[in-house]
Amino acid sequence: MLNQPETGEEIGASLALDSFGALANIEAKGTHCVYRARDAEGITIYIGRTKDFARRSYEHAKRFKIEVIEGLESLTEEQAKWAEEALIVLHRLKKEGGTLWNKIHGRSRLRPDYDDQLQKAQELIKNVEY
């Protein structure tokens, strides 16, 4: 029997993760989150993922302030990697004409499962109303 979430926030997270949890037959609840940094105008300039947000926030503190993206917390590592990649594709790296200071993509486009996994991650991003 499945454990039912008790709060509205947990319910929202579970609903958002259901379609993406099937990604690799992995459990929907995890310890990773996806975060972003924005400039003074609110434009996203960096996307990242971590399982220790406090540590990562401290590491980025000299360059910019980061915030967890609502709905993209409590992810498995695999979900976080693909959600990060979907957001990098959405915002694009500076070297690709986008706004992100990230140097590289989170996942290799040469992976045989890249298109399928990216599509699932894009659905997750849409489900959390990013």
pLDDT (tens digit per residue) in 101-117? 999 999 999 999 999 99
Instruction: With CA atoms as reference, report the closest residue to 75 among 122, 124, 116, 37.
Output: 124
State residue 121's pLDDT score: 97
DSSP output for the chain: -PPPP-SHHHHHHHHHHHHHHGGGT--S--SBEEEEEE-TTS-EEEEEEES-HHHHHHHHTTT--EEEPTT--SB-HHHHHHHHHHHHHHH-BGGGTSSB--SS-SS-TTSTTHHHHHHHHHHHHHHTT-
Average pLDDT (50-73) is 97
State residue 28's pLDDT score: 53
Tokens of 52: 């220790």
